[in-house]
Amino acid sequence: MEWGRCTDKELRELEAIVGAENLSTGESVIRLCSRDESYYTPENPPQVVVTPGSAEEISAILKIANPERIPVTARGAGTSIEGNPVPLFGGIVVDMQRFDKIVEIRPADFVAVVEAGVGYKDLNKAAGRHGLFFPPDPGAGAMIGGMIANNASGVRTIKYGATKDYVLKLTVVLADGEILETGSLATKSSSGYDLTRLFVGSEGTLGLFTQAALRLAGLPAHFSAALATFPTVEAAAEAVFEIMRWGFSPAALEILTAELVAMLNRDRELGLREEPTLFVEFHGASEVALEEELGPVQELCQDAGAISFQSGLGIGERNELWEARYEVYESIKRTHPGADPFVADVAVPISRYPEIIEYAGKVIRDCGVAGYPFGHAGDGNVHIVFMGDAQDKDGWEKIQKANQAIVTRALELEGTSTGEHGVGIGKRRFMEQEHGKSLELMRQIKALLDPQGILNPGKIFPSSSLPLDSS
Ligand SMILES: Cc1cc2nc3c(=O)[nH]c(=O)nc-3n(C[C@H](O)[C@H](O)[C@H](O)COP(=O)(O)OP(=O)(O)OC[C@H]3O[C@@H](n4cnc5c(N)ncnc54)[C@H](O)[C@@H]3O)c2cc1C
């Protein structure tokens, strides 16, 4: 079935809904809203970008788009790295930036009610005044709606959980324009199907969120941070497994290769030992509780062959390290000016972490590609940023092969093709392999909620007619 296009009539109707100042068909806006942080670009860019200001306006937009089968793609901050918000079949981009209100913070209930376009960093500034925070932390300037749609997580997920663990209620506009509320403010519920979590991770394919009630956590009273270095990245991964196996509960446990530490030293003058490194952080109610965890963790690292273990980092040093850690992706890009990044994001059960780290290193060497593994090790999550030229067919093919091999191994190890970045365009081709018959049920849910298929088409589900899925 053909996709619909906005004619002058629909463009006039859209303008009447959002106002002329909130509609653009200008080339630069269209280009901006055709991209995320990945290399994917649409062959058929969107026709129009609208910036509505209420759920009712989004509902009216969908009531125009749905009968004509005009694609509608929601856009948050556009920081995805799998092509998640890249509109593939023209149509309308719904830019959520005007949904920027923190509606309410209820400290006594540990709850924040926010609109979908609020940046999580802004939410954390406001919640911090009450001694609270929203723990999922993808690092980039993501919006709450985009984080919910991708089920984002980050460095603190190991202790606090991912976005899915914090969404209590959602206001969703469905494809036919109906406005729905799911969930409640109770922190637990056994009441019927969990529709809220059905929408979490749906990447804009089941509905557009306008507002969410989110659980908040108390800011930790004390923290301790440590750096451990190892002779090999495999030894560091072994230490990760031991720390988790013994039941410790770090707030962050990140792995970096010697090469990446060297890049951070270059960009930030950190003076770190250029060896495979673990960043470990603990949060606790007292200094004593933290020391009780850090001592045995140091021993476990030494048993795994640690060369050095530096604890007692002050707040300044610790913050500097985290800022540098968040910059890893940019540091890699600076090392390869003009090259295109391609990011792998597999996650495995923690006992298989050393295996996937070792395997990723072998694949990178065997394929002869530029690839940099790092990740949220305590979650069993490894990212590999590959750098190459997307226009160089042979070179890019090698990167695709390396990625394919690593994802396949992660699935063999009973893991997943994407720990936190979502399926978008890049991971569609692994969905069949990962989900088997469950993928058909996902297709049926999609067809039930969006029978015309207008919401962010071409994402999540593989199809032989889509480029990149036929190989
Ligand atoms: C340097 C860098 C580091 C990153 N690190 C991490 C990390 O550690 N952990 C992690 O999880 N991610 C990470 N990411 C990926 C990205 O930041 C997250 O996936 C983030 O949640 C995307 O949010 P966004 O607002 O940019 O959404 P967008 O990229 O704009 O959109 C994401 C998806 O959500 C949909 N969407 C957006 N808003 C809505 C809405 N209101 N209703 C319905 N659907 C909507 C879009 O259609 C799209 O499918 C990183 C990205 C970069 C560039």
Contact 281, 250 (CB under 8 A): yes
How much distance in Å is there from the Cα of 145 to the middle of ligand 1?
8
Contact 375, 344 (CB under 8 A): no
pLDDT (tens digit per residue) in 89-137? 999 999 999 999 999 999 999 999 999 999 999 999 999 999 999 999 9
d(CA 352, CA 85) in angstroms, rounded, equals 32
Q: Quote the mean pLDDT of the chain.
A: 95
Q: What is the pLDDT of residue 470?
A: 55
How much distance in Å is there from the Cα of 331 to the middle of ligand 1?
20
Mean pLDDT of 402-418: 98
d(CA 385, CA 374) in angstroms, rounded, equals 8
Contact 249, 289 (CB under 8 A): no
d(CA 89, CA 345) in angstroms, rounded, equals 26
Contact 216, 134 (CB under 8 A): yes
Mean pLDDT of 313-318: 89
> Which residue minimizes the CA distance to atom 48 of ligand 1?
85
> Which residue minimizes the CA distance to atom 18 of ligand 1?
80
Q: What is the pLDDT of residue 265?
A: 96
**Nearest Cα to Cα of residue 52 among 101, 98, 103:** 98
Q: Is the CB of 143 under 6 A from ligand 1?
A: yes
**Ligand 1 atom nearest 209 alpha carbon:** 42
Rg (CA), the chain: 22
- Report residue 398 as tokens: 């090698």
- Report residue 438 as tokens: 């469950």
Contact 237, 189 (CB under 8 A): no
3-state secondary structure of 17: helix
3-state secondary structure of 185: coil
Q: Is the CB of 92 under 6 A from ligand 1?
A: no
Q: Is the CB of 253 under 6 A from ligand 1?
A: no
**Ligand 1 atom nearest 376 alpha carbon:** 8
- Report residue 24 as tokens: 């653009």
CB proximity list for 108: less than 8 A, separation 6 or greater: none
Q: Is the CB of 73 under 6 A from ligand 1?
A: yes
pLDDT (tens digit per residue) in 389-401? 999 999 999 999 9
**Nearest Cα to Cα of residue 53 among 177, 211, 199, 169:** 211
Contact 212, 167 (CB under 8 A): yes
Best residue among 62, 80, 211, 450 to mutate for probing ligand 1, ranked by most atoms within 8 Å of CB: 80
Q: Is the CB of 381 under 6 A from ligand 1?
A: no
Burial of 259-286, coded b for 16+ CB within 10 Å and e otherwise, reads ebbbbbbeeeeeebebbbbbbbbbbbee
Check whether 203 has a pLDDT greater than 90.
Answer: yes
End-to-end CA distance of the chain: 23
Q: What is the pLDDT of residue 139?
A: 84
Q: Is the CB of 456 under 6 A from ligand 1?
A: yes
d(CA 83, CA 467) in angstroms, rounded, equals 13
pLDDT (tens digit per residue) in 145-193? 999 999 999 999 999 999 999 999 999 999 999 999 999 999 999 999 9
d(CA 100, CA 159) in angstroms, rounded, equals 28
Measured CA to CA in angstroms, residue 223 lies from 174, 289, 342, 377, 425 at distances of 43, 10, 34, 19, 39
Measured CA to CA in angstroms, residue 127 lies from 135, 187, 209 at distances of 11, 18, 21
Best residue among 33, 37, 38, 79 to mutate for probing ligand 1, ranked by most atoms within 8 Å of CB: 79
Tokens 């968040």 correspond to 326
Q: Is the CB of 156 under 6 A from ligand 1?
A: no
pLDDT (tens digit per residue) in 251-307? 999 999 999 999 999 999 999 999 999 999 999 989 888 888 899 999 999 999 999
> Which residue minimizes the CA distance to atom 2 of ligand 1?
140
pLDDT (tens digit per residue) in 8-61? 999 999 999 999 999 999 999 999 999 999 999 998 999 999 999 999 999 999
Q: What is the pLDDT of residue 1?
A: 73
d(CA 206, CA 199) in angstroms, rounded, equals 7
Measured CA to CA in angstroms, residue 54 lies from 18, 50, 51 at distances of 9, 12, 10
How much distance in Å is there from the Cα of 286 to the middle of ligand 1?
35
Q: What is the pLDDT of residue 467?
A: 67
Tokens 């959002």 correspond to 18
Q: What is the pLDDT of residue 471?
A: 46
d(CA 68, CA 255) in angstroms, rounded, equals 49
- Report residue 442 as tokens: 């996902």
**Nearest Cα to Cα of residue 134 among 156, 151, 150, 117:** 156
d(CA 214, CA 113) in angstroms, rounded, equals 6
d(CA 304, CA 321) in angstroms, rounded, equals 23
> Which residue minimizes the CA distance to atom 14 of ligand 1?
138
d(CA 140, CA 133) in angstroms, rounded, equals 17
Tokens 């996937």 correspond to 356
Tokens 């092969």 correspond to 401
CB proximity list for 130: less than 8 A, separation 6 or greater: 105, 107
Measured CA to CA in angstroms, residue 252 lies from 85, 205, 263, 380, 428 at distances of 28, 31, 21, 12, 29
> Which residue minimizes the CA distance to atom 53 of ligand 1?
79
Q: CA 458, 199, 383 angle in degrees (round to 5)?
A: 65
Q: CA 147, 204, 92 angle in degrees (round to 5)?
A: 120
Alpha helices in 304-352 (DSSP H): 315-326, 328-335
Q: Is the CB of 154 under 6 A from ligand 1?
A: yes
